[in-house]
Chain A
Amino acid sequence: MARMKFICDSERCIECNGCVTACKAEHDVPWGVNRRRVVTLNDGLPGEKSISVACMHCSDAPCMAVCPVDCFYRTDEGVVLHDKDTCIGCGYCSYACPFGAPQFPSNGTFGLRGKMDKCTFCAGGPEENGSQAEWEKYGRNRLAEGKLPSCAEMCSTKALLGGDGDVVADIFRTRVVSRGTGSEVWGWGTAYGKPTEAPARKNGSKS
């Protein structure tokens, strides 16, 4: 069973915002809501880096933990989704998320802050796959169409990789070995957990 994950290779991201555009176009995301965005660190300085950020579909998702109405659920593929019929738009998930993924439309049911909207890994919602209700609430369900998220498939430099964690990690590993640098994956440890520390070595022992 695949475990869906995103990797953004900051050595490759050129801040073109193609992923943002692809996402907005694919799901007809309203103005003011950005399921994905590109963040640039040290903008204008030598060595600046850009990364594409959206919901990382965390293994131990803090949004799920804090939701007072328990509207989140996880699919068999590890995609964190939520039910907009249950969401009350309280915003707790927004405070809990380390990636700023939860978005709130300004014209929703609850006045200035509507029901939460976020990246679905192009997996839709709890409604029937490909139904009109699913489309209107969550956008297109590409996974059910046998495709990967639009942002990753559209990325021109293939900085953003999406899909089965084993496969995307293999691709990234191949790159790092080939170029010999840039093995840091932003957000990976936060979302999917850091590897457990090796037991402390005895003094004088070799690694």
Chain B
Amino acid sequence: MTRWLLALAAVALVGCGDPGNRAPGEKSPDMKSYQAPKNGFVAPGWTSGDERSWDEQLRRRAANQNEYTRVQ
């Protein structure tokens, strides 16, 4: 009887928990930025999963903010 009560209490306590929370200090494994999502918004000109091509893509895109070179 006591075992049943303990098991029931354990189940009830689990129900009160929030499965979304992580313990303090535990890092969530974020995906690498060069892993492109599977949607239609990915910019062309680079390969998903290839860090070097992603790096180059962002560098090119950042350099494009320089109108001194863009107008040449």
Contacts and interface: CB of A to CB of B under 8 A. Distances in A.
B58 A163 contact: yes
Interface in A152-173: 152-153, 158, 161-164, 167-168, 170-171
Interface string B26-43: 011111111111110111
Given A1-B55, A164-B58, A164-B59, A171 B65 contact: yes
A150 to B, nearest CB: 12
B22 interface: yes
A75 interface: yes
Contact of A145 (B37, B59, B63, B68): B37
A81 B46 CA distance: 24
A130 interface: yes
Given A69-B24, A178-B68, A129 B36 contact: yes
Contacts of B25: 70
B21 A141 contact: no
Interface residues of B, number: 35
Contacts of B57: 146
**Interface secondary structure of B, over-half rule:** loop
Contact of B59 (A2, A69, A131): A2
Interface residues of A, number: 42
A10 B68 CA distance: 18
Interface of B: 20-22, 24-25, 27-39, 41-43, 45-46, 54-55, 57-59, 61-63, 65-68
30 contacts: A2-B58, A73-B27, A81-B30, A83-B22, A83-B28, A86-B22, A125-B30, A126-B28, A126-B30, A129-B33, A129-B35, A130-B38, A143-B58, A144-B37, A145-B37, A145-B42, A145-B43, A146-B45, A146-B57, A146-B58, A147-B43, A148-B58, A153-B61, A162-B62, A163-B61, A164-B62, A167-B59, A167-B62, A170-B66, A171-B65
